[in-house]
Each structure stands twice: as C-alpha cells, then as structure tokens.
Amino acid sequence: MILVGPAGYPPGSKGGTNAIERTKELGLTALEVQFGRGINLSAERAMEMGSKAKDLGIALSIHAPYYINFNSKPETVEKSHDWLMRSLRIADIMDARIVVVHAASYMGSTSEQVTNRVIEAMRRVREQMELEDLHSIIGLETMGKLASWGTLQEIALVIDEVDGIEPVPDFGHIHARYGGNLRTSDDFQEVLDSVFQIHQGHLHCHFSCIEYTDKGERRHLLLETKEPDFALLAPLIRTISGDLTIISETPAPSEDAVRMVSMLV
C-alpha cells in the first residue's frame, strides 16, 4: 500500500482534527504533524486526532523539533532528549507509526564521532521508551546540508546498533547533498536499493524539489521545478511490494501531495 500526504496541516485547516478531515477531502492518505518549531499539542487534542485519523484511514506521523542536536553541549543534548521524548509520547497517544528526527550537526566533529553520539542518544531514548511503554519508531532522516549529520551510510551504522530505528530517505535532501545526483530512473533506483539493503518493511520517505549550492540544500521548491524530477521516481514506487508512505515537503505540501497521487496512478 502506498500512502501519500503533506508535511503539516492543509491550508485552511482549523486545528488538528480538521486537518485530518481536509487531508481526507483532498484524496490523501497520510499526514505528518509538524513539531518542527515546537510541540504545541495537548494530550487531549492528540487523542482526538488519533481517533479521527483512525476513522478516516489517515496514517499519522510526526516530525520532531528542528532544533534537536545530539552532537552539542550537554544542555542541548539533554533538551534534545526531552524534545524527542515529548514527540514520542504524543506519537503514542495519536498512534503515529513513526517520529522523524534530524539527529545532529557535525560542528567540527568527524562523521564517526557524531555517529557514536547519535548511537548513544538513541540507546538512551529507546531505554526511556521501554520504561514508558512507548511504541513508535524513530525515523532518522537523510539530511541535505553538508554540515548536517545524516547520510544513509551514517544512519545505517545507528540502525545496526539500536533497535526501533528506521531510515527516512528524503529524496530532495539526497539530491542536494550530492550536487544534483538524481537525474535518471537508475539514480532513484540506486537510492531505493541502498535503503532496502538497510531496512525492510514499511518505508517512510519525504519528497521535495530543492535548490542547492556546493554546501548542499538551500531551500525547498515546488514539484513543478523538477529538481529532481519525481516523474522518474513514481513508477519505481508503484512496483514496490511492501508498504510505503511518502510525505510532501514542498512549499505547497498538500497540492504537491495531490500531484504525487496523480503521478502514482
């Protein structure tokens, strides 16, 4: 089954449950709730959203705060742990399968050093989740800036060490990080093959077109800019036998999610 939806509430939504109704009206099947700039949802609202999503068949996921960084000073690492735990608690209440996170920046450290810090942080979060009986998956997103930790290879090292973690390939970010490498159907297939090498089962991913420099991602662009051209990815996704959720992160997330649905028919 392929599920498609926007990052954030569709325009005109009046709160979370209405956003789920709007998502359904648009013919979409997934919604990523954005805590990027803060966790602003009560347990009560989360519960309402969860039951509405269940009624309407909308798969919920959560994006954890952008300011999480597990490679930082101790206070920030502590806060990052807390922000991720709070996101995971809400995810559990609303029955969101996965919480997506930007784990760290290099800030002068080596790839190996940061990977080890992320492993340590994920172990601690998973232990706390076990104590609190929380069941969502933590999704480590592939990052678009060269200064950000999060290549597929780095994420694979964490997955080898800690249970309950999945890669979240972001095709726009991958395109930007490697200087516009997604040009052909084979290029996209190569990414999918490497993802499925490290992760089998339900795949959660992001798409957006993207502007980039030699430092990687600069800003997200509309699907119509074809940078990269997602018409190349759509037929590949259709042939995947397992479950896949694809979330639109373009500047018009809902409209481009609807475009993606029409490309997948």
The residues of the shown chain that bind Zn ion, judged by CB under 5 A, are: 141
Q: Which of 136, 48, 29 is nearest to 92 (CA)?
A: 136
Q: How far is the CB of 131 from Zn ion (least distance, A)?
A: 27
Name which of 48 and 166 has its Cβ closer to Zn ion. 166
Contact yes or no for 173/210 (Cβ under 8 A): yes
**Alpha-carbon span 234 to 231, nearest angstrom:** 5
Name which of 17 and 208 has its Cβ closer to Zn ion. 208
Q: How far is the CB of 144 from Zn ion (least distance, A)?
A: 9
Q: How far is the CB of 44 from Zn ion (least distance, A)?
A: 27
Name which of 17 and 176 has its Cβ closer to Zn ion. 176
**Alpha-carbon span 202 to 170, nearest angstrom:** 15
The amino acid present at 249, given as its one-letter code, is E
Name which of 3 and 98 has its Cβ closer to Zn ion. 98
Helix or strand (DSSP H, E) at 31: strand 30-34
Closest residue to Zn ion, Cβ-based? 141
**Alpha-carbon span 63 to 121, nearest angstrom:** 18
**Alpha-carbon span 103 to 65, nearest angstrom:** 10
Cis peptide before 228 (omega within 30 of 0): yes
Q: How far is the CB of 14 from Zn ion (least distance, A)?
A: 25
Beta strand pairing status for 30-34 and 2-6?
Answer: unpaired
The amino acid present at 136, given as its one-letter code, is S
Q: How far is the CB of 25 from Zn ion (least distance, A)?
A: 25
Name which of 92 and 141 has its Cβ closer to Zn ion. 141
Alpha-helix residue ranges (DSSP H) falling in 109-239: 111-132, 152-161, 171-177, 185-198, 234-238
Q: How far is the CB of 8 from Zn ion (least distance, A)?
A: 11
Name which of 141 and 227 has its Cβ closer to Zn ion. 141
Q: Residue 51 to residues 85, 106, 170, 210: CA-CA distances in angstroms?
A: 22, 40, 28, 35
Name which of 47 and 222 has its Cβ closer to Zn ion. 222
Tokens of 237: 């996704």
Q: How far is the CB of 141 from Zn ion (least distance, A)?
A: 5
Q: Which of 186, 262, 181 is nearest to 224 (CA)?
A: 262
